[in-house]
Each structure stands twice: as structure tokens, then as C-alpha cells.
Amino acid sequence: MAGDHGVVAYGVSAYPQEVTPQMVYNFLRGGAGINVLARQTGARVVIVDMGIAAPLESHPQLISRKVAPGTNNLATGPAMTREQAIQSIQTGIEIVESELAKGLDIVGTGDMGIGNTTPSSAICAAITGQPVAKITGRGTGINDQQHAHKIKVIEQGLAVNQPDSKDALDVLTKVGGFEIGGLAGVILGAAHYRIPVVIDGFISGAAALIACGLSSRARDYIIASHMSVEPGHKAMLKHLRLKPLLDLNLRLGEGTGATLGIFMAECAVRVLAEMATFAEAGVSEASPHLD
């Protein structure tokens, strides 16, 4: 799910907002990291425009569900209206429902949106209570000065908006993003239909915080694929009481970590279903050759 963020105007990213649609076109062409790993894993890539700031050319693989052309600047006021937050979540649920007819046994979450580590950090700080400076990373690779500025922008956004940590919808409304709300809906939709959902990194972690804030039962269906290099991701997973399958210093996003997690989940299921027990294989459990 892809969306843009008004806070990018405050210089929180190393890349311009124009990169968001450029990357989405790359997804549609099949040339991005997520496309490569999805082909290897056997997953289909579903691409949704939740709120990209630019108009996109129509494409048979692009689902256009634009809530608005980017969020408002969270540093100066709410990122979106409460109605838009609800719409983004409902869209995520509807996307899961639309995929059910095609056969759906496991879901992975992925994102695209220049600047979206900023709202994700704000969501993390608001819900976990951790200091902004502790959980804010460098995103696309900003320098020390930009990192310090990013922290101040997030702190300003939290001070201006005062999101209610006990109200996940309020947090999403005040400091979130349309693609984050959409992914929260995907998680809730998958959980409703009892389908495991493998979350990617930091942005998917923010979506999981929102989803579990709305329904604590959603956590039972979440598998954390990996530990992101973003420092706030550890705080997110601790808050959610989730243990990541992998720790490979991944930072690409796009759902690439989720595809690796799907592969690991499939391996686990196959071992459980297909591997012979000692009794079935005629192996003595007391064999001195086995440790």
C-alpha cells in the first residue's frame, strides 16, 4: 500500500516525494525487490494507491483507492480527518476480502511512501510511550543534522496534536498515514478471516500497533517477519509481544521482509505436515547416534 505525507515538506527525508509514484511504477513493471522475492516465494503482489500525491496512470495491476492526495503535515495539525482514518482502515479490510476469492492462505504487508518513517515513529512514540529520540531512525539514510531535525519535527507533531495513546484511531488520525491505516485494515481483515498475516518492518509495525489497538485479538494472527534496523521497531515488537523470525539488518521495506517471513512460515508448515516422526521412519529414539 502506497501513500504520501505532508510532513515531507519539513525536510524529514533524503528523497523527494516524486520517488513514491516512481517506485510504484517500478512495482507495476515487476522490477523492484518485492517483485523479485515475491516471485521466488510464490506470492502475488497487490499494489494499492491509498494516497499518493500525484495522479497515476491506470494499470491493470494497480488498485486505486486514494483517500486523498497525501496527508496533511502532522507537524502543524492532524494528518487526516477521523473519517479519512476510518476510510483507510475499511479499504484495507475490503482489499483482503476482494483477494479471498483468488485463494488466500497467508498475507504479507508492505508499504511505499517517502517520509513514512516519520509518522511511524510518531505512532510508535504515542502508543509505546518511548521517547521520540530513542525510537526515531534515519529512514532513507539522512545525516546527523537531518536526523536531529526529524526528531524535533516528530516531537512538534505530538505536542501539537496530543494523540490519545488509548485510542488507536485518534493516533492514526493525528499522526498517521493512509497506507498505514490501509495496512492496519489488512491486518484486521486477515485476522477476521483467521488468516495469518506476516508483517514487514517499521511501517508495518506501526500499522500493527494501530490494528491491535483497535482489536487486541488481531495479535494472535500476526507473525513478525524480521527486526528492522529502525530503532523503534524493537519497541513496537516488544509492545506487541512479538518475536521476529529474522534479524538481517533489513531496511528496504516494500514488504520484502514479509516475503521472507512467508517462506519461513511455509517451511514450518511443511515440516509439521510432511516430515516423518521417528516412529513413522522406523528410527529408535534411544539411538546412540542421535544427539
Please indicate whether residue 179 is annotated as part of the active site.
no
Query: How is 208-256 classified by DSSP, letter by letter?
Result: HHHHHHH-GGGGGGEEE-B--SSHHHHHHHHHHT---SB-S-----TTH
From the candidates 83, 94, 97, 254, which is the catalytic residue? 254
Nearest to 43 by CA among 268, 254, 272, 276: 254
CA separation for the pair 228, 206 (Å, rounded): 12
Would you give the DSSP letter of residue 44?
P
Interaxial angle between packed helices 168-175 and 178-192, expressed in degrees from 0 to 180 and rounded to the nearest 10: 150
Output the nine-digit C-alpha cell for 86: 476510518
Active site residues: 254
